Copies of this chain bind each other. A is one copy, B any other.
Amino acid sequence: MEGFGVHTSMWTMSWDREGCERAVAKAVSYGMDFLEIALLRPDAVDAAHSRKTLEAAGMRSVCSLGLPEAVWASRNPDGAAEFLKLALDKAAVIGSEALSGVVYGGIGERTGVPPTEAELDNVARALTEAAAHAKSLGLLLGIEPVNRYETHLINTGWQGVAMVEKIGAENVFLHLDTYHMNIEEKGIAQGILDAREHLRYIHLSESDRGTPGAGTVQWDEIFATLKAVGFKGGLAMESFIDMPPEIAYGLSVWRPVASGAEEVMGEGLPFLRNKARQYGLI
């Protein structure tokens, strides 16, 4: 994973044939290096079609997801492992380089108390099994800390690193997200300092998940620290403007945070690319 990509949420939340074709065409038109595909329902994806469409366009990809409640790893590690293996199989057929995201649980999973050792052990067990499967497929497996409201399990870079090291598989990496870091880290760059070589992927997402450059994230601090630790991974712009009801609850998007994809792509993308170039990251 390397280069500058974008999450498909910009153009579709349904990775069906039509959504895939539209998103790939758009990504090509903006010169993206890769697409992050939201694999919300892996079983429903026509992976062969995705692969053909991506290959025809010369577009690389990464898949990401959160787990359905029935298979949250903290309490159903076997179910989680099975689900992740299916998703990894799909990602492999699609030709993606990694499966990442909230692979350890649900977006919105909160017990009301701090994570227990038993929960973290379950997560590690599920992810260890998934990592082995990913390795057999030549895939990487990423872990994305998200903010306190979206999970009680892994909120910060150092918590994510602890899980990566607990699993101890070389194809498991940390995946940070500036939107969450803005809430959770002691200084926007702290998670990068804690992650260092474990960090191979980062979501460039504004503080309100709207247009990058128009919020409160201190981008120079992000990019300078990425450069300083020798980051070589993927930079993925992510915004959530309009969400289908089934995922709106977890993400809690109640209003449009940008006027539309044109604003994000027309203002946010040049802003982020200029900054990434300024710091020699692309």
* Residues of A bordering B, CB below 8 Å: 110, 112-115, 147-150, 152, 155-156, 181-190, 192-193, 207-208, 210, 213-218, 220-221, 223-225, 227-229, 245, 248-249, 252-255, 267, 270-271, 274, 278-279
B182 & A254 in contact (Cβ 8 Å cutoff): no
B189 & A208 in contact (Cβ 8 Å cutoff): no
A189 & B254 in contact (Cβ 8 Å cutoff): no
Question: Quick one: closest B residue to A114, CB to CB?
Answer: B254
- B residues near A208, Cβ cutoff 8 Å: 183-186
Q: Within the assembled complex, what's the spacing in Å between the Cα atoms of A215 and B216?
A: 12
- B residues near A193, Cβ cutoff 8 Å: 224, 227-228, 279
Q: Within the assembled complex, what's the spacing in Å between the Cα atoms of A249 and B108?
A: 12
- B residues near A186, Cβ cutoff 8 Å: 208, 210, 214-215, 278
Question: Quick one: closest B residue to A280, CB to CB?
Answer: B193
B254 & A220 in contact (Cβ 8 Å cutoff): no
